[in-house]
């Protein structure tokens, strides 16, 4: 399971952590109009390099 959310969305982050997801990636959100927006990816297992690339671009 993977959760893909914005860093400022504290409620969603709490829920993701409550169900056992861990932070796997943190970086700029390529699709957001504000270049300072940070995207978090939480998952229930480590992500392969291909999965990391897919969720961040």
- pLDDT recorded at residue 56: 80
Which are the contacts of 8, defined by CB distance < 8 A and separation ≥ 6? 38
- pLDDT recorded at residue 47: 95
Find tokens 């993701």 and name the residue.
16
- pLDDT recorded at residue 22: 97
Rg (CA), the chain: 11
* Cα–Cα dist 24/2, whole Å: 9
- pLDDT recorded at residue 32: 86
- pLDDT recorded at residue 3: 94
Per-residue pLDDT reduced to its tens digit, 1-57:
999 999 999 999 999 999 999 999 999 988 889 989 999 999 999 999 999 988 887
pTM confidence score: 0.86
Q: Are 37 and 6 in contact (CB under 8 A)?
A: yes
For the chain, give every domain's residue range. 2-56
């Amino acid at each position: 399971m993977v959760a893909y959310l914005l860093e400022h969305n504290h409620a969603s982050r709490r829920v993701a952590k409550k169900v056992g997801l861990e932070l796997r990636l943190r970086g700029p959100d390529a699709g957001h109009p504000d270049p300072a927006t940070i995207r978090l990816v939480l998952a229930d297992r480590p992500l392969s390099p291909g999965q990391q690339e897919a969720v961040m671009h």
